[in-house]
A and B are shown apart, each in its own frame.
Chain A
Amino acid sequence: MKNKSMFAAFCLLLVFALIAGCSNDDTGSGRTKDGEVQLVMWAHQGQPKEVDFYKKRIDDFNTAYKGKIHVKLKIIPSGAGHAYEDKINAAATSNGLPDVLDMDGPFVGNYAATGLLAPIDSYIPDKDKKDFADSIIQQGTYDKKLYALGAMESSVVLFYNKKLLKEAGIQAPEKIDDAWDWNEFLEVSKKLTTEKTKGLTMHMDLGVGEWFTYMGSVFVWSNGGDLLNEDRTKADGYLNGKESVEALEYVQKLFKEKVVSMSNGPTDFEEGRAAMMLGGVWLIPGFEEYKDLDWGITYFPYAKEKASPSGSWAFGVSSQSKFPKEAAEVVKWMSNKDSVVEISKITGMPPARASAFDELKEYDEMPKKAIKDQVLESATARPSTPAYPVLTAKFAEAFQAAALGQDVKKALDKATEDTERELERFNK
């Protein structure tokens, strides 16, 4: 009998331990007796250095605003997939959103449309807005109101292997005006393709997901097209418009000519199995590991107009905050020039403000100059729309279909149909 009651006690203990161990400790925001406003902020868990930066910047903020505003920062693990977004979803339904949160650029539209975010226009001076890269303002704007500002920019550039290009007698463009157009790019890629190396890798190994849209939609913009109309209410005639179809047919050609592979390994460029790579600037720190790799950067190839990917994490104020004015102060602080310069130094990502480039000398010369040029001159934000989750999934599928040699028009028509249905939900 003794054993059995021990067993029962053990069970009970476990239950209590679980319940006690998991009680929520974010007490939420409020005002202390001496009038200090307490805010809660969420940030996603990026690189460790990035997290350290968030913590330090918030500490500085708390010192600067002592007695007025105090921010409690909570780092939310993001992992792969959409763990962080799921967390926001969950908090939104149960009224548990923090005052300030950061979010990935293209989701601003979805959160704004579903009432998760409060507009911050009135708190940001116009002069200040102008200092941000246009694409950063675009990504933070939904329905003509500004909802989010970020400190980091991001981009996709064309990396190249200096040795392999030299062997093939190819000179990569050094100025954005000289960037390869689609024809030149195809020719160069063909020349660089040998039995052992591919001319290009597009990281198809990442699978259908945000990457395909991030990199792939540039082909559409560059061809003068867009994924949605200007009001972001219509996909028909845009997503499946002539320009989009041509763009993906061009992508298809790259695969048909076998200059790029559907089944590339994750480090083909780094290990010299591909001469060029369309890759995110976030890959640069990883190159250090490959001593034999002599790499350079040139511009995203274009058709009619220069275009390049844009968008990164941005800060916004939740609509559930009782202190939107104070919360906006935090957003401003996290995206002011000091923050922007510092986070760029730490993460190696391009800054979101034009003025910040003045402080970052390495962007004055190649290879990083190419990134600066793209951010300031050709960066285009992904469409800000509540239908974005569906749009991006469907576009990515169409992109893959193109790469696999399927009928591009048909694939885009299907994507358009699904996106239209989703848009309808919000256009009502």
Chain B
Amino acid sequence: MKKTVWKDVLLYMVLIILACLFLFPLVWMVISSFKTESRIFMDLTSFNAFLPTDFTFANYSAVFERIPFFRYIITSTLYVSVIVVLGLFVNSLAAYAFARMTFKGRDVLFAAVVALIIIPFESILLPLYLIVDELDWLNTYQALIVPFIANAFNIFMFRQFFLNLPKELEESARMDGASTLRIFFQIVIPLSKPVFITVALLTFITHWGDFMWPLIATTDESVRPLQVGMQFFFHQPPVKYGHIMAALTMGTIPLLLIFLFFQKYYVRGIASAGMKN
């Protein structure tokens, strides 16, 4: 019995040390965002760095004065949400065709789509930029959205799920004279809620972190997403630790909310993505 107590103590110690390692940067970030610039530097060399030795909102108001922070958040939320919504639509429709319909060239087409999963986005960056420029889309929401609606991997995920659905319901609906589109919306989608939520979450999180593409495709502040906006702010003189900490702290909030609300689905989602492959 004694042995297990010691084991627990040891475990807790390891856990606490690791937790400190994982949390100290974030704690410092949040705490510093409420301190004046000189206080941040003064506290750096002592444990005070992690204690609220000061309490001011000045850094936060400075952020809003210096950059259109809300605008960045709205831009990011808007464009990522549109990718998610249109993406669910387009990709699930395609996946349904590949899973359930018989038509000439289907298997070749699907094989081609699967093969596309392998192309890394980074290798098509420049030509994509030139195409988007040709369409006169630079500095517009279209540039941020349209190229990312169709997603080969998501089509693949949807198809896997649809293949595992029992066919009986769809067939009896067809007997009743329902159109394919109607079957899809009325029967298939309600049955496929889990995969829709998983794909939506994964898409949202992926594109929320988008950096390289918005960096080059948008130069106007009016369509600049949060990640790029924060990077610009980081380099924009005068560089103040407090201001940047405030911006970073606020920048974590949206994703934090997503995780809080969708925690259950999220964990299940990444886990299922893990199992399937």
Contacts and interface: CB of A to CB of B under 8 A. Distances in A.
Interface stretch (B10-18, B24-32, B47-55, B131-139): B131-139
A144 B155 CA distance: 58
B176 interface: no
A86 B85 contact: no
Contact of B86 (A14, A79, A86, A283): A14
B107 interface: no
The A interface is mostly helix, strand or loop, or mixed, namely helix
Interface string A83-106: 110110010011010000000000
A295 to B, nearest CB: 15
Task: Bin chain A's interface residue count.
Answer: 20 to 34
A22 B142 CA distance: 8
Q: Give the interface centre of A15, A24, A286 by most chain B CB atoms within 10 Å.
A: A15
The B interface is mostly helix, strand or loop, or mixed, namely helix
Q: Give the interface centre of A8, A14, A21 by most chain B CB atoms within 10 Å.
A: A14
A79 B236 contact: yes
B89 A94 contact: no
Contacts of A283: 237
Contacts of A286: 237-238
A50 to B, nearest CB: 15
Contacts of A76: 219-220
Contact of B140 (A22, A84, A87): A22
A90 B216 CA distance: 10
Interface residues of B, number: 37
Contact of A24 (B38, B133, B136, B224): B136
Interface of B: 37-38, 41, 82, 85-86, 89, 130, 133-134, 136-142, 145, 182, 185-186, 189, 215-216, 219-222, 224, 231-232, 235-240
Given A80-B232, A90-B138, 18 more contacts: A4-B185, A4-B186, A14-B85, A18-B145, A19-B142, A22-B141, A77-B220, A77-B224, A79-B232, A81-B232, A83-B232, A86-B216, A87-B139, A90-B133, A93-B130, A94-B133, A206-B235, A266-B238
21 contacts: A1-B185, A4-B185, A10-B85, A11-B85, A14-B82, A14-B86, A18-B140, A21-B141, A22-B140, A24-B136, A45-B221, A77-B220, A79-B219, A79-B224, A79-B236, A81-B235, A86-B216, A86-B219, A266-B237, A267-B240, A286-B237
